[in-house]
A and B are shown apart, each in its own frame.
Chain A
């Protein structure tokens, strides 16, 4: 077939090199070539990572995000020393200081961009595992055995799939290929291209993406089988028909970034198209209320779940909640109401717009909530009948594995997908025309900055690298399946409690 319709087709989960849309990618180091350069191209020959490239006999601007660093450059057989004109300078990128924040450090952004471009781990010394928040996932480490317990395991065959229906209730049995699916981001908060890029990429890995509460644009119809539709308090665009389209329906009670507060889409982002899908008026700010005004008890909640089950007789029901003190009780309540998935969204989760005071202060971080809920469900004797999904600050493959080791079955991501699409965490998604990088925007000009094939491929690449990392981590523990990792806190150490914790970089070979 010579013609492929990217708008309807699920792409294959194969890595394709996909460079930045905005010139050269940002890296930890910068490589500058001065006017003294005579295009002798010695540097092209000596660089081990292909920083230097020539086109038509001329050196093009160096791909400095591939650079292994100042120490490498200084070696006698590398670029700086081999340049006859002394035209090459390698230094730390001064722009890194202004990039990112404590949770998404410049290193995490840079390494995620690298994975999205190449599908592999960066080769230089950027920290790709943890951020700099000083707590939670950033203080947890894996305690790998010195030697692989089962060296004969085939890494590539280690099972990373999880089951989303653990109840024996005659409804769909759904397994997803990776223990990750895409969290709700509504049409309006992000562009349709961004939405479809995520959906296609997760579909490629046989997983799902949630619509968020912005309705169900027609462009999503070809991917019905890979979509979770969300029923949130604003009920924007929720119709019987949209509930019946899909295999999984998610109730959003609360969101980790703004627990206990309603959603908020500012007027400028409500374009004609957004307004049509949401069944509202262009240009007017949209608030979804808090809470569901029809739910004041677990009994009411059960009615909600029953309503969805009656409308969609085969579908699964997920319940997304935030992390209050009684999150364990909420989880067990959802189980008894008949949910298949309990999705807990921790307080450091993402959003298109929320009051800073809420993001920082309300509800507990996911790292505390996962073991709390996992243990409570286990003590209730129902843990093996419900799928526990965690989100709210999952940034890396290591975070995924740590969340699972703490007790979740799988995780939901959002921000990391956007970082794969070259989000820089400038925190301006909500203002004016929206995202300057064409991700979280509905502005026609800005939306045009991203191409669907490019976007899908970047996320496919990142997920591919994550899957490889997960398989490597599982291999080092001698586990055949990611399901064996659930609740295995014994494979973790915490830097506040444990001393002499070894480095857990999987780029360093096990003995």
Chain B
């Protein structure tokens, strides 16, 4: 059994005031000056403890308020109200929703798994990952007690090509093993689709990857500033022809797929057989693109990295498939070809929450790449101002790398605990076993077909 993987988290405060969901609107006008004002009854003492903070140039009451509505209800003149903060509602987009952003901020700050009282308050279902539910087992085979576990739940995955069998001559292994990398979580850090990406930010990302024992894909130019962390970096070389000998200290590089990709890969394989080569491809579900996956595998690619757009869809395709369906299609073809176990297939783009990691893997990915959530951990508001050259409201370019890496480690720490919870519920103790376990997923379309479509379909 491997040593138990544990992520040390440290509460790390935000630099800017967080934008909360709702705020107290308190009209003083018409106040009756009751002897027993409802504000004195606040059990969180929000009215007593509030102050004017020069950090935020504002009142701290909304950070203290827990929305119990007792003051709202109790004021005889209805002078106190609680309303949704329009600034909060305007955060992000349909993938990185205000809820996702808030929950990500909290995790990056505390390092803790989000826990709350009362049942789920969200939508019944939604697009993409929200149309899947994971399975549970009433009487689980391995005994386990969730994160407080007695039996170890491993989240280790391997990157690299796997031979389908080993050949021996007596005790001597004849099969030439391809190089591989073992990482303790099925998550590596991917390039960002946007962001004010300073060297300090890349250092924060690289440091976090090193502390977590995983990998970060970084632009080649930035990688050269981070030599001390090379073992955890995957320089992204794009379509450049790079001298393989110059790639010192790294365990893997990533190249972009293009016409001469096979040639560039062959150069690397000849000069540096110890180095893994990942090929970055656009996440299309088309037969041609999956055919290209097979071709690249044939030519020796160590990992296939499918990149969906930042909303988790086929890039540039109108009504493109969601990444979960793209993964399922690739997985299906690789299964049919009898090659699934030989290939490491990673997906990225549009993965915003811990559950998306597990759901992607259950659909058929070996591991995933995460991008925007790391920025959100660093307080990004997903306003995308940076894309038009606008100012970053949270000064992303000025972060302290130490602070940044702690925030990212906290987020991944919280995600890791959520992976354990979900795997535990399924009774799966090995992250490697998640890959393609579609029998442990309930897809909404299947549930609908099995139940409501039978009951209500074809009635009109």
Which residues of A pack against B, CB within 8 Å?
20, 22-26, 30, 32, 34-35, 61, 64, 93-95, 97-104, 133-136, 138-139, 253-254, 256-257, 259-262, 264, 287, 289-293, 295-297, 300-301, 321-322, 324-325, 330, 347-365, 367-368, 371-372, 392-393, 415, 423-431, 433, 436-437, 440, 446, 489, 492-494, 496-499
Contact = CB atoms under 8 A, between A and B. Distances in A.
A23 B138 contact: no
A491 B359 CA distance: 36
Given A22-B73, A354-B115, A497-B453, A135 B139 contact: no
A23 B35 CA distance: 15
A30 B118 contact: no
B74 A22 contact: yes
Q: Which of A24, A104, A295, A324 has the most CB of B within 10 A?
A: A324
B118 A429 contact: yes
A297 B118 contact: no
A324 B138 contact: yes
B421 interface: yes
A325 B119 contact: no
Given A98-B67, A361-B355, A498-B456, A23 B73 contact: yes
Contacts of A290: 140, 144-146, 424-425
Contact of B422 (A352, A362, A446): A362
Contacts of B121: 100-104, 425, 427
Given A103-B119, A296-B141, A364-B442, A95 B69 contact: yes
Interface in B403-460: 418, 421-422, 424-427, 439-440, 442, 447-448, 450-453, 455-457, 459-460
Contact of B68 (A102, A364, A426, A430): A426
B123 A102 contact: yes
Nearest to A348: B120
B422 A61 contact: no
Contacts of B38: 23
Interface stretch (B77-85, B177-185, B191-199, B238-246): B77-85
Given A24-B76, A361-B134, 11 more contacts: A22-B74, A24-B73, A94-B83, A98-B84, A101-B121, A260-B426, A290-B146, A324-B137, A425-B118, A426-B68, A427-B121
A134 to B, nearest CB: 5
Nearest to B425: A260
A372 B450 contact: yes
Q: Which of B67, B113, B425 has the most CB of A within 10 A?
A: B425
Given A290-B145, A355-B113, A364-B133, A260 B139 contact: no
B78 to A, nearest CB: 5
B456 A492 contact: yes
B117 interface: yes
B114 interface: yes
B135 A363 contact: yes
B293 to A, nearest CB: 29
A447 B365 CA distance: 50
Q: Which of B22, B103, B144, B353 has the most CB of A within 10 A?
A: B144
A324 to B, nearest CB: 5
Given A22-B73, A437-B68, A357 B125 contact: no
Contact of B81 (A24, A94, A102, A324): A94
15 contacts: A99-B82, A102-B122, A103-B120, A133-B123, A260-B140, A260-B425, A290-B146, A291-B140, A351-B119, A353-B117, A362-B134, A392-B119, A415-B118, A426-B68, A429-B117
Contacts of A300: 139
A136 B74 CA distance: 35
Nearest to B72: A95
Contacts of B455: 371, 489, 492, 494
Given A136-B124, A427-B116, A330 B66 contact: no
A304 to B, nearest CB: 11
A301 to B, nearest CB: 7
B43 interface: yes
A430 B117 contact: yes
B13 interface: no
Given A361-B134, A425-B118, A430-B115, A292 B139 contact: yes
A361 B447 contact: no
B133 A362 contact: yes
Contacts of B137: 260, 291, 324
Q: Which of B30, B70, B117, B141 has the most CB of A within 10 A?
A: B117
Given A30-B78, A95-B82, A104-B121, A436 B421 contact: no
A363 B426 CA distance: 10
A441 to B, nearest CB: 10
The 7 closest A-B pairs by CB, nearest first: A135-B124, A260-B425, A429-B117, A101-B121, A436-B68, A260-B136, A497-B456
